[in-house]
Amino acid sequence: MLALSDVSFAYPGGRQALAGLSLRLGAGIVGLLGPNGAGKSTLMRMLATLNRPTQGSILWRGRDIAREPEALRHELGYLPQEFGVYPAQTAREFLRYLAAVKGLPHASIASRVDECIEMVGLVAGRDRPIGSFSGGMRQRVGIAQALLNDPALLIVDEPTVGLDPGERQRFRNLLTELAGKRLIMLSTHIVSDVEAIATDLVVMQKGRLRFAGSPQELLRAAIGKVWDWTVPEHALEGVRASYRVCNALRRADCIQLRVVSEQQPHGDAVPALPGLEEAYMVALAHEA
């Protein structure tokens, strides 16, 4: 449904935020991964028709969204990284207001708002002021407003920043429930946010595409490039200076390391089965 062809974006001062990005995406949950500054939010804003590519094209159902943004907007739900609310309004009041702004038929607004509130699990708090909500509840309001028009494309940008582990888990479960015939794009720099729910992964670094495919393909690409290595404590600083260390576990008289390296870093290092976070670091380290 969504096709990007050689998409680039440069800011007026000349700084390149994206360069030569090409992707084809269908229904499912796509995890967009990358460190801060990778260009994820810039891409999200272009997909939400807020920015236009300076080069290339983005097609939704075969139509260029830069030339025909309305072709996508009526099928789009968007939760930006910074989502503002009116704290004195209740969740129901706020969502009814946004439904009117989005142009939903007046006769259906009340019922659609109640449907979305139920979908995101906010029934018990729907008549409380949003200012009294936890971070997780506010994110549920954000998802509810993005669902008001029953979008075919749902974009959520860094949605779990500031949430505690329990709220993050509930948010991931909610996205899984919403997937199906819908394309959900979840932008994050936290691998665990997409590990259990993503059907596809896109890894970006410094505005460029580093990987696109399934989580299983990313894991396979990392086999033979992750190592278990036990070193004395005094050697840790030197290892960090020479290799990318994924994890360090202190023992009584040594440090157990997980290291990313194309070659065996030391005779004592043994191959390890990579996890998704380590596979992600392999994708970034290979290009770096």
Question: What mean pLDDT, rounded, does the chain reach?
Answer: 91
157 pLDDT band (50/70/90 cuts)?
Answer: confident
pLDDT number for residue 288: 47
Report domain extents, the chain: 224-272
**Backbone torsions φ then ψ of 243, nearest 5 degrees:** -135, 160
What mean pLDDT comes out for the span 126-147? Answer: 91
What mean pLDDT comes out for the span 225-252? Answer: 93
Which residues contact residue 275 at a Cβ distance below 8 angstroms, ignoring those fewer than 6 apart? 219
What mean pLDDT comes out for the span 58-75? Answer: 93
Q: Are 59 and 38 in contact (CB under 8 A)?
A: no
Number of H helices, E strands in the chain: 10, 14
- How far apart (Å, rounded) are the C-alpha atoms in residues 260 and 221? 12
Distances (CA, A) of 115 to 28, 100, 149, 153: 22, 15, 11, 18
202 pLDDT band (50/70/90 cuts)?
Answer: very high
- What does the block give as tokens for 90? 């209740």
164 pLDDT band (50/70/90 cuts)?
Answer: confident
Stronger pLDDT, 180 or 142, i.e. the higher one: 142
Give, as one character, the DSSP assignment of residue 90.
B
**Backbone torsions φ then ψ of 224, nearest 5 degrees:** 85, 5
> Could you tell me how far CA 201 lies from the centroid of its own chain?
9
- Each residue of 69-112: pLDDT tens digit? 998 998 999 998 878 888 999 999 999 999 999 889 999 999 99
179 pLDDT band (50/70/90 cuts)?
Answer: confident
| pTM as predicted | 0.87
- What does the block give as tokens for 139? 């994110």
What mean pLDDT comes out for the span 134-163? Answer: 88
pLDDT number for residue 180: 81
- What does the block give as tokens for 61? 């159902």
pLDDT number for residue 139: 86
pLDDT at residue 65 tops 90: yes
- HSE at residue 215, side-chain half, CA atoms within 13 A, is 20
- Each residue of 239-253: pLDDT tens digit? 999 999 999 999 888
Neighbouring CB atoms inside 10 A of 48's CB total 21
Rounded percentage of the chain residues whose pLDDT exceeds 90: 73
Q: Are 154 and 146 in contact (CB under 8 A)?
A: yes
pLDDT number for residue 153: 95
pLDDT number for residue 287: 54
Q: Are 58 and 6 in contact (CB under 8 A)?
A: no
Neighbouring CB atoms inside 10 A of 209's CB total 20
**Backbone torsions φ then ψ of 235, nearest 5 degrees:** -90, -10
Neighbouring CB atoms inside 10 A of 188's CB total 20
Q: Are 20 and 8 in contact (CB under 8 A)?
A: yes
Q: β-strands 255-260, 226-231: how paired?
A: antiparallel
What mean pLDDT comes out for the span 244-270? Answer: 93
**Backbone torsions φ then ψ of 231, nearest 5 degrees:** -130, 155
Rounded percentage of the chain residues whose pLDDT exceeds 70: 99
- What does the block give as tokens for 64? 């260029």
